[in-house]
Homo-oligomer: A and B are copies of this chain.
């Protein structure tokens, strides 16, 4: 990398260190990874189930399942029916991705479907009602728009220790 690119590289390293969005995307910033997580939320557990549902190549699926397991998002265990299959199940850390998957779903529902075009729906099991639109909410309990929030940088720890 040329010397005049140094500041950008430094900045990137600093950003990766302090930005939780960037750190998350290093792990789940991949279409297949998030599709597998979605399918796991829908109850799919076995290699063949993911493969059939996603139509993904075996090597890509194996790679993503390993990465998700290594990252602690999926846990693999022998199948509960005593067969030789492995089953992949979301861990607590994996289940904590629910807002990400719901955010993607609701954005798609709102912006990528024509009026009247059918799509699957996310419902509450106990009453069958569609899950309302999920929005960030402020300290006063009101929904927040992009204009009402901002990112503040992490404190410079070394400076604070002086």
Chain A count of residues within 8 A CB distance of the other chain: 86
Query: Which of B27, B41, B125, B129 meets A112, CB within 8 Å?
Result: B27
Nearest Cβ on chain B to A69's Cβ, whole angstroms: 15
Query: Which of B21, B42, B138 meets A151, CB within 8 Å?
Result: B42
State whether B118 touches A154 (Cβ < 8 A): yes
A23 and B108 in contact, given A131-B136, A131-B138, A132-B138 (Cβ under 8 angstroms): yes
A59 CA to B55 CA in the complex, in Å? 29
A137 and B139 in contact, given A12-B55, A31-B29, A149-B125 (Cβ under 8 angstroms): no
Known: A27-B112, A122-B150. 12 other contacts (CB 8 A): A19-B119, A20-B107, A21-B35, A25-B35, A29-B34, A42-B151, A99-B102, A100-B100, A124-B138, A125-B147, A132-B136, A132-B137
Chain A positions within 8 Å of B, measured between CB atoms, are 5, 7-9, 11-12, 15, 18-31, 34-35, 38, 41-42, 51-55, 72, 90, 93, 95-113, 118-129, 131-132, 134-139, 144-155, 157
